């Protein structure tokens, strides 16, 4: 089933945790989203795949509330993100974790401080002091409890990625956005990272949205897939449905063929 | 191009307004602001003292040749100190600081922007202007003001040393005429310029870093823009403050 621009994509059963309603967004005259609708439900694992520049990260940042739509609305549990009261905004932020494409680690802080800073900012300094055990538990879960005093520049790329994931998860969020969690990593480390994301989701339970270009990892992660092309987002269903999806662009992207309809993009 | 420049100036002034509004409630971040100021001072004190000293020395060399023509060597100290405190000292030292502190700050902020650290702060519900910009902005202003003042003090010593060794003027004579020419208003003029220049450096350099969009190349472009725009703005600000201050004295 093709979910063209403007079609509502139902990816779960209960009330949506995030809903995009007729959202449009563009940069410098280039339209990324037009009248786009999306519903994301509690417990979903949605994977966005597609060529570079197709708007995957933009869509992710829109859902996270980091970008504002030029028209339409992004709703968090039925409330418009742009008009949330301070209390709801805080609630929303405490429920959201995000791994950035380049990890966005605070390079002047140690591994431990990177996580403590998150609690300080969202819950306050005292809570950050009281929740030292939560920080250690999270770092242990991602296997970084032995490098607490290291700075991000002193640990490997895979460890930086794990630190980014730990920072996204330290508040035990209900909604986690992963922007290309395996970018720049070797296949073995990529597989380990994705397995860790799935393990942590199983352990703590969360709705996750992942952006990736790696189809193998997408299949591993996906409850549902959405294949993104510039100006168009196709709902392709589960991993198996996506593999069998009829659109030639999707097939070309999956196979990584040089020739095909995507060549002109 | 004119419209684009005016738009750019408008954006810069709106940014300055936002930073100043956020800075109003920054008392609770005083420790961080103090740390940033200290860092800037540590990074630039030696350079500023060195530059200030030689600005005074150069001015003495230049004026010696002129005042000797009029047999007015005893006025050397007064002329050098007046010109240095009111005009040349603040401007040259501000140029130097814009290259040192300004480039460092715009590169640091630009890198934070392209590596998504600023987005990460926003994702925590914090205001990056309040968290990242204000401590640096106030740190630069406080430190620049201190450094400029310190540089001016050393320019005085540079002038004095050159007068006694090169121009053959006893130090008592060098100092004697200074109070006749260098009034309280001259010192106030220098102090006002120090403040205005530090505001210019802090505003443009944090703005250029904060508005970088893209990657490493854009960070480089941002640093170059920060350096050139700061220097142009310093010259314009110097003209403007001189114009206003001289206007005030003539009222």
Task: Read off the pLDDT of residues A193-235 as tens digits, 9 standing for 90 and up.
Answer: 888 888 878 877 789 999 988 888 888 887 889 998 887 888 8
Is A171 a residue whose pLDDT tops 70? yes
For residue B222, being part of any structural domain is answered with yes
In CATH, what number does A42-54+86-264 get? 3.40.50.300
Question: From start to end of chain A, where are the E strands?
Answer: 16-27, 30-41, 45-49, 71-76, 79-80, 96-99, 175-179, 207-211, 224-229, 232-237
Interface test mutation site (partner B, options A27, A60, A66, max chain B beta carbons within 10 A): A66
- Domain extent listing, chain A: 42-54+86-264
Residues in chain B with CB shorter than 8 Å from the CB of A64 are 123
Q: pTM for this structure?
A: 0.78
Which residues have a Cβ under 8 Å from the Cβ of B8 and sit 6 or more positions away?
A: none
For residue B197, being part of any structural domain is answered with yes
- Which domain covers residue B114, as residue numbers? 30-250
- Count how many domains chain B has: 1
A90 contacts B116? CB cut-off 8 A:
no
For residue B19, being part of any structural domain is answered with no
A121 contacts B126? CB cut-off 8 A:
yes
For residue range A73-94, list pLDDT tens digits in order: 999 888 888 888 777 777 787 7
Residues in chain B with CB shorter than 8 Å from the CB of A93 are 123-125
Q: CA of B123: which chain A residue's CA is closest?
A: A66
Alpha carbon of A262 to those of A4, A52, A78, A229, B174: distances in Å?
17, 12, 37, 9, 79
Among A104, A118, A122, beta carbon nearest to B115: A104
Mean pLDDT value across residues A131-146: 89
For residue B20, being part of any structural domain is answered with no
Please return the burial class of A52, using the count of CB atoms within 10 Å of its CB with bins 0-12, 13-18 and 19+: exposed
Among A61, A93, A117, beta carbon nearest to B125: A93
A106 contacts B120? CB cut-off 8 A:
yes
- The interface predicted TM-score of the complex, written ipTM, equals 0.74
Mean pLDDT of chain A: 83
On whether the CB atoms of residues A33 and A55 are closer than 8 A, the answer is yes
Mean pLDDT value across residues B175-201: 88
């Amino acid at each position: 089933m093709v979910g063209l621009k403007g079609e509502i994509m139902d990816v779960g059963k209960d009330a949506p945790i995030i809903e995009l309603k007729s959202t449009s967004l563009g940069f410098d005259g280039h339209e990324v989203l037009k009248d786009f609708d999306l519903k994301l439900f509690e417990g979903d694992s949605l994977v966005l795949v597609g060529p570079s520049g197709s708007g995957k990260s933009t869509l992710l940042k829109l859902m996270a509330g980091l970008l504002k739509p030029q028209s339409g609305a992004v709703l968090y549990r039925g409330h418009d993100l742009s008009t949330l009261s301070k209390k709801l905004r805080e609630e929303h932020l405490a429920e959201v974790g995000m791994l950035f494409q380049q990890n966005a680690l605070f390079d002047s802080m140690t591994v431990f401080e990177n996580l403590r800073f998150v609690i300080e900012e969202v819950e306050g300094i005292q809570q950050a002091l009281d929740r030292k055990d939560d920080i250690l538990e999270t770092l242990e879960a991602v296997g970084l409890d032995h490098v607490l005093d290291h700075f991000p520049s002193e640990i490997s790329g895979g460890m930086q990625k794990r630190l980014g994931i730990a920072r996204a998860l330290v508040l035990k969020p209900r909604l986690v956005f992963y922007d290309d969690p395996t970018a720049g990593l070797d296949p073995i480390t990529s597989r380990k990272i994705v397995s860790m994301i799935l393990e942590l989701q199983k352990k703590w339970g969360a709705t996750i949205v992942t952006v990736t270009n790696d189809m193998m990892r997408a299949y591993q992660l996906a409850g549902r897939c959405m294949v993104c092309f510039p100006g168009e987002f196709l709902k392709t269903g589960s991993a198996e449905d996506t593999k069998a999806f009829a659109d030639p662009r999707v097939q070309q992207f999956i196979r990584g063929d040089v020739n095909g309809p995507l060549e002109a993009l | 191009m004119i419209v684009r420049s005016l738009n750019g100036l408008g954006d810069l002034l709106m940014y300055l307004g936002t930073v100043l509004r956020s800075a109003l409630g920054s008392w609770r971040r005083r420790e961080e602001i103090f740390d940033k100021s200290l860092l800037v001072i540590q990074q630039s004190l030696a350079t500023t003292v060195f530059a200030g000293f030689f600005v005074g020395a150069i001015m003495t060399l230049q004026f010696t040749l002129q005042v000797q023509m009029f047999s007015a060597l005893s006025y050397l100290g007064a002329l050098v100190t007046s010109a240095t405190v009111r005009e040349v000292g603040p401007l040259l030292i501000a140029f130097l600081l814009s290259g040192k502190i300004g480039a460092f700050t715009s590169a640091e902020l630009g890198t934070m922007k392209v590596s998504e650290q600023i987005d990460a702060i926003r994702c925590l519900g914090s205001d990056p202007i309040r968290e990242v910009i204000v401590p640096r902005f106030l740190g630069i202003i406080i430190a620049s003001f201190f450094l400029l003042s310190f540089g001016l003090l050393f320019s005085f010593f540079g002038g004095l040393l050159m007068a006694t060794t090169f121009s053959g003027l006893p130090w008592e004579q060098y100092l004697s005429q200074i109070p006749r020419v260098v009034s309280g208003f001259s010192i106030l003029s220098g102090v006002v310029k120090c403040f205005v220049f530090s505001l210019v450096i802090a505003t443009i350099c944090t703005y250029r870093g904060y508005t970088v969009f893209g990657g490493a190349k854009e960070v480089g472009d941002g640093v170059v823009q920060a350096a050139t725009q700061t220097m142009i703005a310093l010259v314009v600000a110097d003209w403007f403050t001189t114009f206003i201050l001289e206007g005030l004295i003539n009222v």
